A and B are shown apart, each in its own frame.
Chain A
Amino acid sequence: MFFDIFKCRFKSLLREKSGFFWTLAFPLILSTLFFLAFSNLNKIDKFEKIKIAVADIQKAGDGFNAALRNSGLFEVSQMDLEQAKKLLSEGDINGYIKCKSANDFELFVQKSDFEESIIKMFLDSYRSSYSSAEKIIASNPASAKDVINLLSEEKTYINEMPSGNGNSTVIYFYSLIAMVCMLSSTYGCSEVIKIQADQSTCAARINVSPSHKLKVFMASISAAFIFEFFVTLIVTAYIKFVLRIDFGTSMAFILLLCAAGCFAGISLGAMIGALVKKPEQVKIGALVSVTMFFSFLSGLMYENMKYIIQKNAPALAFINPVSLVCDGFYSLYYYDTFDRYFLNVSILAAMGILFSAVTYFVLRRQKYASI
């Protein structure tokens, strides 16, 4: 009986077009939009050297030449003025510098953009440092050698993040997967509604049958769990293999977290469906409110909320299933140890068991005051 009911419910879920859209198509579309939006951000994050040309560099001296090369900002070519003008007009370089003396430069650019601003900032900084050096040497000629060395030595303009954990946008994809896990709560609620005789005639038909309604419920909720887990896998696979978002090396851990998240989500929905003794719309409304509130507290809508909760009420993050899923992903990505990850998975599993137990005690032998 269990397998027959499971099969029918699974078929129904596969054929339910609106449910399929919200649980699968919507996250796929959203992840694609994230990908398109964040790929530009990543491009900005990855600094590419600015191509510049320098004419008459001998007039500026070795100090300027060394400062240019040691900055790490530029790909420098030395050439005459005419050649530099030609390259700029053809768009092969972002700008060229005409050196007049050690402290006098002219910058030529074709547009005023991010790269051009960097060249200007560098020249301003060099001029300012050179003037300071001149003053120091004038007042203390003995320090001349040290000051010249200081001017030409490497100055850090770009700060490289540690490799591996550098892509902050991956967090948004984790949040998206957490959202998919929590969407499963609607299936949990819906499966409870399908066995409550006061909610639909189909449910009344199930209630008048000799099958134990909790067995029917177990088969239906298992179908919903497997369905939702597969949906989460598809979304995760799409993000990893199609959008090529790096999840690190722990794919199996991600799947385990997804399973725990789906289990907690489905049982949360089932519990709310069982506890709210009102029509279907009210149950769904209550469920959406609860999951949205949890999502808000976990920082899905306002990033800083996560830190506010961590600072002021850290315990709240441990009873919020959305936070647990998100934090589980964060811990996989940021920490080298799995302590926090396994703690979150365990709490999610315990929550799922607790929610299921509450659902069981509310539903068993339930009669209705009105139908």
Chain B
Amino acid sequence: METVVKIENLVKRYDELVALDHLNLNIASGEIFGLLGPNGSGKTTAISCMLSLLEFNKGKIEIFGKEMAPTAYDIKRQIGVVFQNVAVFDELTVYENIDYFCGLYVYDKKERKKLVDEAIEFVGLGDFIKFRPKKLSGGLLRRLNIACGIAHKPKLIIFDEPTVAVDPQSRNNILEGIKRLNSEGATIIYTSHYMEEVEQICSRIAILDKGRVIAQGTKEELKDMISKGEKISVQVYGISEEQLAKMLKIPGVAGADFADGTISISMKGKSGGIAQIIEFLNENNIGYGRIASELPTLNDVFLELTGKTFRD
């Protein structure tokens, strides 16, 4: 697959603080690439360097096979950015805002009008085109922000934490919209510190911590990197110490505890163990109620790789 973004050994320092520490990324065409990391991990800095907004100390950035620079207008023409903070002019209406920002990319008025109308339809702001931003709700404002970033139909769209402070319904709309843009052919870079969102939409993910990529791959590949596997909880009427010790001998079981009428079983790596556990319970005449299975999350990946959770 064609490489859209190639970042090699990118270093960005703010005095003593190393914001990006030899960052390497390769993003292929057609991907929804997630940049996942806690606040301050370097996601927005990486995006800003990628867009030539920030100077960096070392490294190389190529987009669409060409070196990125402030004057690389042919590259910039193919990029759309949806910033974390809503970036619109308060004095202009919804239509005028989209038209203004689209006008920075598309100079032909007729073509631009068509694109602006399509963007308005895409984000569902048709009833609000004459509204000023201050009259819009938070969710509608986010939609306007997206429309301003994508109206010119870019090939590469960067979403920098677009769902921060957004209600669940608007968040789902935004995520669905991103999937639609991707299905229409756009390569997406999606930065977030919400791992559920990244898991939900991204085809490949890079986890950042302290300006470094600590892991990169599909969500399955990332979860395979850690020793922690599936966690199975079984409600039982009772289990003896002997039976619990016997359970530990089931292949793939890493640990088992009993407390408050529930056995908590940790499986190793990719081992899928729910069938074996049920078989064991039946063989040993252990009466059981509800069985729940919990797969490892990206937070578990982050925890195992860094020794801390996203919220630390």
* Residues in A lying within 8 Å of B, measured CB to CB: 1, 4-5, 8, 11-13, 15-16, 197, 200-202, 204-212, 216, 365-371
Q: Does B234 sit within 8 A of A, measured CB to CB?
A: no
A-B contact pairs, 6 of them (CB 8 A): A4-B103, A8-B92, A204-B83, A207-B70, A371-B44, A371-B54
Within 8 A of A (CB), among B80-118: 81, 83-89, 91-92, 96, 99-101, 103-105, 107, 109
Q: How many residue pairs at the A-B interface have CB separations less than 8 Å?
A: 91
From known contacts A205-B149, A208-B81, infer whether A5 and B70 are also in contact, taking CB-CB under 8 Å: no
B residues less than 8 Å from A8 (CB atoms): 89, 92, 96, 99-100, 103
Of the residues B53, B99, B100, contact of A204 by C-beta under 8 Å: B53
Contacting pair A11 B83 (CB below 8 A): no
Query: B100 touching A5 by the CB < 8 A rule?
Result: yes
B89 touches A202 (CB 8 A): yes
Shortest Cβ distance from residue B46 to the other chain A in the assembled complex, whole angstroms:
12
Number of chain B residues whose Cβ lies closer than 8 Å to a Cβ of chain A: 36
- How far, in Å, is A304 (CB) from chain B's closest CB? 43
B81 touches A205 (CB 8 A): yes
A-side contacts of B237, CB under 8 Å: none
Contacts A8-B92, A209-B105, A210-B73 hold; do A369 and B54 have CB atoms under 8 A apart?
A: yes
Complex contact B96–A5 (CB within 8 A): no
Q: Is B188 an interface residue (CB 8 A)?
A: no
Any chain A CB within 8 A of the CB of B172?
A: no
Closest partner residue, chain B, to A14 (CB atom): B91
B51 interface residue (CB < 8 Å to A): yes
Contact A367 B53 (CB under 8 A): yes
- Flag whether B52 is at the interface (Cβ < 8 A): yes
Instruction: Name the CB-closest residue of B to A202.
Output: B87
Least CB separation from A12: chain B residue: B91
Chain B residue nearest to A206 (CB atoms) is B104
Residue from B53, B71, B79, B105 in contact with A371 in the complex, judged by beta carbons closer than 8 Å: B53
Question: Does B270 have its Cβ within 8 Å of any Cβ on chain A?
Answer: no
Please state if B148 and A205 are interface contacts (CB–CB under 8 Å): yes
Nearest Cβ on chain B to A369's Cβ, whole angstroms: 6
20 new A-B contacts at CB < 8 Å, known A210-B77, A367-B52 = A1-B103, A1-B107, A4-B103, A5-B103, A197-B53, A201-B83, A201-B84, A201-B86, A202-B89, A208-B53, A209-B76, A210-B105, A212-B73, A216-B104, A365-B71, A367-B54, A367-B70, A368-B53, A368-B55, A371-B53
Given the interface contacts A4-B103, A209-B104, does A370 sit within 8 Å of B54 by beta carbon? yes
Q: Which B residues lie within 8 Å of A205 (CB)?
A: 81, 83, 87, 101, 148-149
A202 touches B88 (CB 8 A): yes
> A211 near B54 (CB under 8 angstroms)?
no
B84 partner residues in chain A, CB cutoff 8 A? 201
